[in-house]
Structure 1
Amino acid sequence: MSSADIFVIGSAGLRTYRTQLATISQNISNAGSENYSRRTTTVSESSMSGAHEILYLPRASFGGSEATGVSRASDPYLDANVRNTGSALANANARLQWVNDIENALSDDDLGIGTSLTKFYSSVDQLAANPADTSLRTNVLYQLEQIVSAFHTSSDGLETVLDGTADSAESSVALLNTYTSQLRDINQALTRSQEGTSNRAQLLDNRDAVLQKISETLNVSISFGGHEEATVTYNGVTIASPTVAGTFAVTQNADGTLALSLDGSAVANPTNGSLGGDFASAAIARERLDSLDALAVQFATDINNWHRQGYTDAGATNVDMLSVGTTAASLSVSLSGIDQIAAASASGTINGNLVAISATRAASDVESQWTELVTTHGNLVSTITSEQAASEARDENARTAREEVSGVDLDMEAADLLRVQQAYQACARVIQTARDITDTILNL
């Protein structure tokens, strides 16, 4: 081995370890960055060449080491697991948000429907004890107006949830369309990229980041090609590939529920991801609003049937207390004044009809149905809260497992940095030694 060989070996080492230092620096600067996978420089022995010229003695030339590429730490199974848990968590988060809003709309506080019903029946009982008292009559009318207001408040709250789920779904779909376009571009770049380069590693990071976002939006199936490009399908239809970028759209149905289309054609509703949570929550809000509408109609019917049997102070009968169409929002008070309260019975008893409110209340199941509605939804909130906590724990565990494989450990990077720096310095000394040998030979 000549001094020239030693010089070549040292120079090759400097280039190799310079590349490693750059890789380690990149790892350190991206420590804690989401969707960044740790890089390592692959080093191999440089090929040895030989001279076979006729006029020269045969000899071998040693090339030292060389950086052959940049590898990216990843585990496809762990990546897929994080996508699955992320999709479930996004779904649970969306559903929990909306069912909590629905619960607020169905609030049974002092101004809620349940409390207002109780206060109304109590006010009628109080008036029955003194049917001529104008303040008590005013209170009956006021409590009736409070019931109407409570129904309107709950109805408005549920309508707000329906509109909110639609707005959220539209925003999610707009982002989803951006993701499919981004993935198509990344896929195309991957088919042209060179294996083992930093650029390819970055493309793979970008690919996984977009796949994570798509999975967190709706339930999809993912497969990979020979160039590690991703093909994403939804219900069997390709929505992203090197040549495809699907376009989704959301429409709100007349009843407030949601419908999804892909490239202009209707497709099945999503069942997972944040979009699946929006769709499921819209259906729940619609169901709760239907129940509320039915309660409002039943309450108006029961109260009107009771009130029509009585007589006002002027002797009028068949007077409705309430007016209602088919929704809680249409409920309103029909009485224009306290003199229209039908307190007397057909027999002439001045409080006879007021006393009969007890039988009407007992026969009506509006209060029990309201309690059942609130309880049923409360149980659903409790269930989804537990699901969200479990999904969050599973997602955290999945991310931790992936981080152990592809994440950056600063302690490890610091140790590698020290090792490579020392190796770099050693290569510099090898070059200096080669120079010293050459100078010594030339000075002989």
Structure 2
Amino acid sequence: MSGLLSSLQTSAQALRVLDRQMATTQNNVNNSQTPGYVKQTASTAAMPFDLSAGLTGGVTSLPEQSSRNQFAEQSVRGSVSDSGSQDIQSQMLSMLEGVLPADTTKGVGAALTKLWDSFSSWSTSPNSATQRDAVLNAAKNLASAFNQAAGQVSQLRQSADKQAQTSVTAINQLTTRIAALNLKLQKDGPDAGVDAQLHAALEDLSGLTNISVLMQSNGTANVLMDGQIPLVMGSESKALSVSITPQGTNAPPKFQLMSADGQDVTSHATGGTLGGLVAFRTGPIAELEGDGTQPGTLNTLASNVADRINQLLTSGYSTLDPTPVAGVPLFQYNSGQNAASTLQIVSGFQSSDLAAADQGNPPSVNGIALQLAGLRDSSAAADQINGQTYGQFLSSMTSRVGFLSSDATTKASSAADAVVQARSLREQISGVSLDEEAAKLVEYQRSYQANAKMIQVLSDLTQTLLNSVA
């Protein structure tokens, strides 16, 4: 009789274990599309069997085992971070390329070409009012082209700053959420649902900046930006902030990413959307419009062209007969740090003020006009910037923007493919297979039916035995 009762208990325990396994399988199926969720396995263990000691054996449930693989998670986060950075850089550089196209029939390049052409035509008819008017109009158009390009570059900088602030706000929201999930795990212990939320938040965070995740034995996560700057430590989050401060009257404002303790951590943001925006802001944009330590290539070109043209015009004369009238400057700008945005024609300048003549030996009515026309291809050091003609300098500037844009587009595509591959590998390692879970469910149901049948048989035997005793 005792053997029958022990067998009943063992079979009943087996049913409870199978209930747990079926519940785990059903939970896997229900959460197969839940972000951050990985397959859970209901493990079992054999119970000791020793009849002399009253141990009847059987099976018991162990805590659920997660199939999460931290190396796979790290690979996904790394690829997501790189993709976020490359994608935003590709977008911003594409817009910058539109501002400074390599096509010389557009923008500053077109305006500069037309100014050289107007100088050339004027040099053949230095006293022609029509040609003088054409020069003045071309000069105005060049100033306008520089103004427009500088304004658009400035708008892109401001857009990058605004997007960086938005990214930092999102980062702080995610780190606050991660800290709250850590606290829940600390208080309540392991939970597959909370773990899924935690890893989904970590992946979202990696899309915004480059992070290192240190998993703790209790399932919580400590998060560092660039492996050095604390963002989450246990149940405490540490907020980042953006600082945009003036750098003098004429230079663009300075961008800084600040840690919770007030340190400048801009250089540590190298991944995710934030890292891409920082790279764009402190790289191509600073190269063009300056950063407080250098004027930028766009301002350098504008100031050098204006200065050289002014030098030649002021060395000549607008008329030689009967009384020589000295030439006056054509262009003016505020400073070398914002020459492109402030370049304009000197107030009150008239086309008749253009100085074509020089008092050389012999005097020439078009000497200065010829020198101005020669600026297009002049090899003289005074007519160049770092050994390049003005056209070559502009070409190198626009070519660099074009190269960076093309390179970022290629890298963005490769990075997106890497994300797909990393997620696919993670899915193979720890994702939920509906086919596999369906097979398990059938297996558990059959085992459940067999155990239920066993209980029915044992119940019948017990009843028969009781009836025989009665």
Normalised TM-score (structure 2): 0.81
- Which residue of the other structure, out of 252, 270, 275, is the alignment partner of 1:272? 270
Q: Does residue 304 of structure 2 align to residue 303 of structure 1?
A: no
Shift of 1:182: 1.7
**Which range moved further: 413-422 or 209-218?**
209-218
Shift of 1:340: 2.9
Q: Which residue of 1 aligns with 2:136?
A: 141
Q: Which residue of 2 aligns with 1:154?
A: 149
Q: Which residue of 2 aligns with 1:321?
A: 330
Deviations 1:312-349 (A, max 9, x none): 69975322222212221101123757643526414686
Shift of 1:296: 0.8
Q: Which residue of 1 aligns with 2:249?
A: none
What pairs with 1:4-153 in structure 2 (closer than 5 Å)?
4-45=5-46, 60=54, 62=56, 64-109=58-103, 110-130=105-125, 136-153=131-148
Instruction: Name the SS for the 2:218 alignment partner.
Output: coil
Question: 1:305–1:46: structure 2 CA closer, same or farther, 3 Å change rule?
Answer: same
Separation in structure 1 between the aligned mates of residue 6 and residue 73 of structure 2, nearest angstrom: 45
Q: Which residue of 2 aligns with 1:54?
A: none
Question: 1:378–1:111: structure 2 CA closer, same or farther, 3 Å change rule?
Answer: closer
Q: Which residue of 2 aligns with 1:355?
A: 370
- Which residue of the other structure, out of 388, 403, 406, is the alignment partner of 2:427? 403
Separation in structure 2 between the aligned mates of residue 5 and residue 232 of structure 1, nearest angstrom: 52
Separation in structure 2 between the aligned mates of residue 108 and residue 394 of structure 1, nearest angstrom: 31
Q: Which runs of 5+ in 2 are unaligned?
A: 247-251, 290-295
* Aligned residues with identical type, % of pairs: 23
Q: Is the 8 A contact 2:117 2:373 kept in 1?
A: no
- Which residue of the other structure, out of 255, 259, 263, is the alignment partner of 2:256? 259
Q: Does residue 192 of structure 2 align to residue 201 of structure 1?
A: yes
Q: Which residue of 2 aligns with 1:233?
A: 224
Instruction: Name the SS for the 2:238 alignment partner.
Output: coil
Instruction: Name the SS for the 1:228 alignment partner.
Output: coil
Instruction: Name the SS for the 1:266 alignment partner.
Output: coil
Question: 1:111–1:149: structure 2 CA closer, same or farther, 3 Å change rule?
Answer: farther
Shift of 1:130: 4.4
Deviations 1:341-390 (A, max 9, x none): 52641468665543332233323422111111112232333333343344
Separation in structure 2 between the aligned mates of residue 207 and residue 94 of structure 1, nearest angstrom: 25
Question: 1:401–1:257: structure 2 CA closer, same or farther, 3 Å change rule?
Answer: farther
**Which range moved further: 374-383 or 400-409?**
374-383
Shift of 1:46: 5.1
Shift of 1:301: 1.0
Separation in structure 1 between the aligned mates of residue 413 and residue 456 of structure 2, nearest angstrom: 62
What amino acid is aligned across from residue 392 of structure 1 in structure 2? Answer: A
Q: Which residue of 2 aligns with 1:188?
A: 183
Shift of 1:2: 4.9
Question: 1:310–1:18: structure 2 CA closer, same or farther, 3 Å change rule?
Answer: farther
**Which range moved further: 184-193 or 381-390?**
381-390
Question: 1:272–1:344: structure 2 CA closer, same or farther, 3 Å change rule?
Answer: closer
Q: Is the 8 A contact 2:89 2:408 kept in 1?
A: yes
Shift of 1:263: 2.2
Separation in structure 2 between the aligned mates of residue 41 and residue 138 of structure 1, nearest angstrom: 87
Q: Which residue of 1 aligns with 2:292?
A: none
Separation in structure 1 between the aligned mates of residue 422 and residue 439 of structure 2, nearest angstrom: 27
Instruction: Name the SS for the 1:265 alignment partner.
Output: coil
What amino acid is aligned across from residue 327 of structure 2 in structure 1? Answer: N
Q: Does residue 205 of structure 2 align to residue 214 of structure 1?
A: yes
Question: 1:208–1:428: structure 2 CA closer, same or farther, 3 Å change rule?
Answer: same
Deviations 1:401-421 (A, max 9, x none): 222111112221222222223
Q: Is the 8 A contact 1:222 1:233 kept in 2?
A: yes
Separation in structure 2 between the aligned mates of residue 84 and residue 105 of structure 1, nearest angstrom: 32
Instruction: Name the SS for the 2:219 alignment partner.
Output: coil
Shift of 1:310: 3.7
Shift of 1:442: 5.5
Deviations 1:220-247 (A, max 9, x none): 4432333132222346453312242112
What amino acid is aligned across from residue 318 of structure 2 in structure 1? Answer: Y
Q: Which residue of 1 aligns with 2:280?
A: 281
Shift of 1:48: 6.5
Q: Is the 8 A contact 1:12 1:64 kept in 2?
A: yes
Q: Which residue of 2 aligns with 1:53?
A: none
Question: 1:371–1:87: structure 2 CA closer, same or farther, 3 Å change rule?
Answer: same
Separation in structure 2 between the aligned mates of residue 47 and residue 278 of structure 1, nearest angstrom: 62
Q: Is the 8 A contact 2:29 2:437 kept in 1?
A: yes
Q: Is the 8 A contact 2:77 2:206 kept in 1?
A: yes
Q: Which runs of 5+ in 1 are unaligned?
A: 51-57
What amino acid is aligned across from residue 360 of structure 1 in structure 2? Answer: L
Separation in structure 2 between the aligned mates of residue 313 and residue 60 of structure 1, nearest angstrom: 126
Instruction: Name the SS for the 1:226 alignment partner.
Output: coil
Q: Is the 8 A contact 1:42 1:71 kept in 2?
A: yes
Q: Which residue of 1 aligns with 2:293?
A: none
Instruction: Name the SS for the 2:222 alignment partner.
Output: strand
Q: Work out the number of aligned pairs and report it.
A: 433
Separation in structure 1 between the aligned mates of residue 42 and residue 48 of structure 2, nearest angstrom: 18
Separation in structure 1 between the aligned mates of residue 457 and residue 130 of structure 2, nearest angstrom: 110
Q: Which residue of 1 aligns with 2:446?
A: 422
Normalised TM-score (structure 1): 0.86
Extract structure 1 runs of 4+ deviating beyond 6 A.
47-50, 312-315
Aligned-residue RMSD, C-alpha: 3.1
